[in-house]
Amino acid sequence: MNIDRWTRRATLLLATLAVLLSGCTTYVTTQVTAFSDWNGNDATRTFAFTRAPDQQNNLELATYERLVANELAAHAFREVDSANARYLVGLSYGIRSDLVTVAEPVYYNPWPGPYWGRPFDPWGPWGPFPTTYVNQTYPVFTHLLGIRITERASGKEVYNVTARNSGGESSLLRAMPYLARSALADFPLGNGVVHTVKIPRGKDGGPVNEMAATGGAPAAMPVPASGVKATE
């Protein structure tokens, strides 16, 4: 057997797999829940953000408001002074950390040396030995964004949507673009609708302009203003 030939083949195979994996698209999956009394009859959707007294100079909140404003603009909303706004938009947000324990397999091979594959090694790289498991603990972070829209004149709540996702991302700031886009992906959703939105993750870690929504509600048509499209 020509060992150098097998080594070259293995190297080429690993290189090919690396190229293929680098082209795979990863998604951020977000669960969206909406409660709605939206009539959809307004031709001009003017809005202003509303804040609690202790949030007036909150830079973090201002950053998230800009993300939400961009998503609202894709649905014909226009930000104006609060005195002239038809709607007031309030945000709530947060992050929670939990620990998840997973049993992972550990393989033992008392026979050192390279693995040549079948038919040379019929048991595979780990031999005919039983698999043992060890518990590994990992942090999981849950990110939350709530958007509440009320009529300024009457104070009536007309739309309340919550977006929630979980994963290894420890920064709420980096998760917020996905939450904002998911929350308003198919605006306006029906009352009591729960569905899932999947957004492709871009090379820079942020969302790209393609999105798929599944479960709970019919998909919205593409929105030309933002380049975002949703499919059932």
pLDDT tens across 134-168, in order?
Answer: 888 889 999 999 999 999 999 999 999 999 999 99
Please tell me the pTM assigned to this model: 0.70
Tokens of 219: 């998909």
What per-residue confidence (pLDDT) applies to 124?
55
47 confidence band (pLDDT: 50, 70, 90):
very high
Q: Cis bond leading into 218, ω under 30°?
A: no
Residues 197, 222: Cα–Cα separation, whole Å = 14
200 confidence band (pLDDT: 50, 70, 90):
very high
Query: For residue 58, which amino acid is it?
Result: N
* Class of the CATH-defined domain 26-100+139-214: alpha beta
Reduced to 3 states (helix: H, G, I; strand: E, B; else coil), residue 8 is: helix
Tokens of 162: 């919550």
Give me Rg for the CA atoms of the chain.
25
Answer yes or no: are the C-beta atoms of 162 and 149 closer than 8 Å.
Answer: no
Q: Domains of the chain: which residue ranges?
A: 26-100+139-214
Residues 79, 82: Cα–Cα separation, whole Å = 9
**Overall average pLDDT of the 207-217 stretch:** 54
- 71-92, pLDDT tens digit by residue? 999 999 999 999 999 999 999 9
Residue 3 CA, distance from chain mean position: 46
Answer yes or no: are the C-beta atoms of 91 and 60 closer than 8 Å.
Answer: no
185 confidence band (pLDDT: 50, 70, 90):
very high
